């Protein structure tokens, strides 16, 4: 099911969801984000996940520390949830 969802119609081969380095970077980013979200929850900040998500995503893009290849369907599913 997952390869079916992440196939670009013009290509006959399913694209790779995450490379090995992307997986390691995602683990680091998600663990930092989870910790920051927990900290903001303790401080009783409204919508801590949204604030941390925007902050972490923007800082990665601005500092160009890592290029995360996020599949569009993954973003769409995350936005629906």
**What's residue 1's pLDDT?**
46
Residues 6+ apart with CB under 8 A from 51: 40, 45
Q: What is the pTM of this model?
A: 0.51
**What's residue 59's pLDDT?**
77
Residue that is written with structure tokens 């980013």 in the block = 29
Q: What is the pLDDT along the chain (81 residues), one digit of tens a residue?
A: 455 555 555 555 544 555 556 667 777 778 888 888 888 889 888 888 888 877 877 777 776 665 665 666 556 666 665
Classify 78 as helix, strand or coil: helix
**What's residue 55's pLDDT?**
81
Contact 37, 52 (CB under 8 A): yes
């Amino acid at each position: 099911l997952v390869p079916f969802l992440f196939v670009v119609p013009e290509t006959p081969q399913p694209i790779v969801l995450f490379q090995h380095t992307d997986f390691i970077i995602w683990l680091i980013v998600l663990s930092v984000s989870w910790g920051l979200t927990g900290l903001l929850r303790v401080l009783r900040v409204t919508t801590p996940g949204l604030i941390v998500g925007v902050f972490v995503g923007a800082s990665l893009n601005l500092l160009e520390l890592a290029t995360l290849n996020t599949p569009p369907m993954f973003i769409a599913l995350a936005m629906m949830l």
